[in-house]
Amino acid sequence: MKRTLRPSFWPAAVFFVLAAAFGPLFDSFWLSLLTLVFFYAFMGLSWNLMMSAGLLSLGHALFLGLGAYAAAVLTASTGISPWLSIPAGAVIAALAGSAIAWIGGRFSVRGVQFAVLTIAFSELTRVLFDNWDLVGGTGGFFLKAINPDTNRPLVTLRGGPLYFYFAFLVITAAAYFVIQLLMTSRWGFRWRGINEDEDAARALGVPALRSKVLVVAISAGLAGLGGGLFGLMQGSLFPDSVMRLQLSIEILIAPIIGGIGSPFGSIVGAFFVVPLMEFSNTLSQRIGYYGLNTLIYGVVILGIIAFLPDGIWPRILRYMNLIRAA
Amino acid sequence: MATLYLNVIAGGILIGIVYALIALGLTIIFGVMRIVNFAHGEMVVIGMYVGYGLWSVTKIPPWMIAPAAALVLFVLGYALQRAIVNSFIDRPQHSQFILFISFALIITGLHLVFFGPDPRPIGMIESMQSYAIGPLHLDVVRSQAALMALAFVAALILFLQQSTFGRSIRAAADNLIGARVIGIRVHTVYSVTAGIGMGCAGAAGTLVAPIFDTQPFLATDFTLIAFIIVIVGGLGSLTGALLGGVLIGLSEALAALTISPALKTVFSYALLALVLVWRPNGLFGEQER
């Protein structure tokens, strides 16, 4: 294992502890911004996990959406605790992911074709949800508002800005450490082997199909978990908001901009991308030019990918001399 | 009933030919550079605005404007390739992907800033007319668009088959190192190819401007349609793009008629998934080496 890819465990732990300690000091604007940051960081970690096995997902909104709908619909219609419905959503998303990975692996759909396969399943499901009455169709699915006075966040898993800040911080930290462990496990090496050269990895005895199904199942399960929590936070779900292609693309911008070589890159990317989106939206509203936000966002992304080809985080590490210049 | 089906099939084939032109642009770029233009639909929308703009000033029917749009997009594609994309040729795929996503965002942003989000319909007398051939009624606008698209396709194939530059493009696509060895300037070939690919998108955009009302957010739909066609037909295959375009146009039209217009894309995605499972490299793509 190359040291260079793995900044040690402690700086990340310190970062998460500091983020938790400062949480109560933020006002609600910063809390909701940072909640969104951790949401995208979490989704980026999940997306990046699949990328570690060379599988480009352009349909991550599918897993997010399945998790969100499962958690919201199960909780609202059967009254079961979100402590059960969110994991149920994660399992459903993981099963969907496994199915896609199995189809892709079994019929050797690779590269761009695999990416388009993920779009196909994601868009298929979105259109089906649009026309499925049980989940509200295009009209959307709404959760009953909670009473902030009697609500207990640890029972309903819903609450105010501070609660959701901590919720997303905790799952991001957990996902980060789990992924670090996975990447140094036997499976992590198998995934990286498949990413480098699938045929060579197979020749060395890597069970490629099983490895791929596993990595997509974990990645999709994580996305389903984050989606479940996101659904409870939004309170309203529409296929065209939680399953749309644009969301899948928004999810992968942060990890690539941050640097896909390391899980922490996804978190750094989210800390850059989400405030950038927020800033350009506000600026565009102030000036009153609809579309200016998209333009600014695009120009900045273009600048970063042109000048920092490996992403932001590897460049920061290089400045701090933590990894040797390539 | 049979007449209805006949007319729907004819309409599907006509729009499919225009889709084929869009897909042809995507596939030629991929075939030569192994780069996927994720901003292809945005290029189509630029073509739509060129068509809309010139039509509203001059009232020349859009199918006659298409060559102008092709020229505009050729220059844009060439310049983008020269200035930026050429330096991304050897970058990893995710890097190229983000590059084109940023192009897509910038183009959509510019469209929104200059033209706003409102749809801009082109109202012509021809939109209401059709050619009657026995029981068959062919929509005038769609027929003109399909004929013009066919003319572009024919010109492109002639160029690739007959001209020296067309041959060097095919040489670079077949064997990059060999092409370098015999003295082909690969970066020029790339830039011209990008120009041609995006020119196809622009021309097709002008052709569809009277059929779909011009609007910035149509871009994603066009990118997706082009993707489906190209993957179904086989990435990099010209025949695949042409037949795939007609196939998808046909399947959309039939799905809209027999199931429901809202579910017409489902049909295309299902078709895509089936083709990928059956032949992972598409109907006309190179199979496993």
Average pLDDT rounded to a whole number, residues B54-70: 93
Please report the ipTM that was assigned to this predicted complex. 0.90
Query: What pLDDT, on the 0 to 100 scale, is given for residue A147?
Result: 79
φ/ψ (deg, to 5) at A316: -60, -45
Contact A110 B220 (CB under 8 A): no
User: Any residues with CB less than 8 A from the CB of B186 and at least 6 apart, and which?
Assistant: B172, B176, B179, B180
Element (H, E) at A156: helix A153-156
Q: Pick the residue of A62, A244, A305, A310 with the most B CBs within 10 A to test the interface with B by mutation.
A: A305
Query: What pLDDT, on the 0 to 100 scale, is given for residue B287?
Result: 57
Helical spans, DSSP H, in B116-183: 140-162, 164-174, 176-181
Domain boundary assignment for chain B = 2-110+120-278
Query: What pLDDT, on the 0 to 100 scale, is given for residue A296?
Result: 94
Residue B102 has pLDDT above 60, yes or no: yes
pLDDT above 70 coverage of chain B, percent = 99
Nearest CB to B102; choose among A112, A117, A302: A302
Contact B105 A295 (CB under 8 A): yes
Residues constituting chain B: 289
- CA dihedral over B209, B282, B236, B102, signed as positive or negative: positive
Give, as one character, the DSSP assignment of residue A141.
Answer: E
DSSP letters spanning A196-240 = H-HHHHHHTT--HHHHHHHHHHHHHHHHHHHHHHHHHHHSEE-HH
> Which residues in chain B are closer than 8 Å to A53, comparing Cβ atoms?
none
Query: What pLDDT, on the 0 to 100 scale, is given for residue A3?
Result: 46
Domain boundary assignment for chain A = 2-244
Residue B135 has pLDDT above 50, yes or no: yes
> Which residues in chain B are closer than 8 Å to A130, comparing Cβ atoms?
262
pTM above 0.90, yes or no: yes
User: Any residues with CB less than 8 A from the CB of A84 and at least 6 apart, and which?
Assistant: A74
> Which residues in chain A are closer than 8 Å to B117, comparing Cβ atoms?
290-291
On whether the B2-110+120-278 domain is CATH 1.10.3470, my answer is: yes
Contact A301 B98 (CB under 8 A): yes
Average pLDDT of chain B? 92
Regions in chain A scoring below 50 on pLDDT: 1-5, 325-326
Whole-angstrom distance, CA of residue A79 vs CA of residue A71: 11
Query: What pLDDT, on the 0 to 100 scale, is given for residue A162?
Result: 92
Tell me if B254 sits within 8 A of A98, measured CB to CB.
no
Average pLDDT rounded to a whole number, residues B82-98: 92
Three-class SS state of A148 = coil
Query: What pLDDT, on the 0 to 100 scale, is given for residue B4?
Result: 87
> Which residues in chain B are closer than 8 Å to A113, comparing Cβ atoms?
231, 235, 276, 280-282
Nearest CB to B108; choose among A112, A294, A301: A294
> Which residues in chain B are closer than 8 Å to A119, comparing Cβ atoms?
224, 227
Which of A198, A215, A294 has its CA nearest to residue A45?
A215
Three-class SS state of B243 = helix
Average pLDDT rounded to a whole number, residues B136-151: 92
Nearest CB to B36; choose among A103, A112, A290: A112
CATH architecture label of A2-244: Orthogonal Bundle (1.10)
Contact A290 B116 (CB under 8 A): yes
- End-to-end Cα spacing for chain B: 47
Contact B262 A130 (CB under 8 A): yes
The vertex-B107 CA angle with B104 and B111, nearest 5°, equals: 135
How big is the A-B interface in CB pairs under 8 Å? 134
B207 CA to chain A: closest CA distance, Å? 25
Query: What pLDDT, on the 0 to 100 scale, is given for residue A265?
Result: 93
> Which residues in chain B are closer than 8 Å to A124, comparing Cβ atoms?
266, 269-270, 273
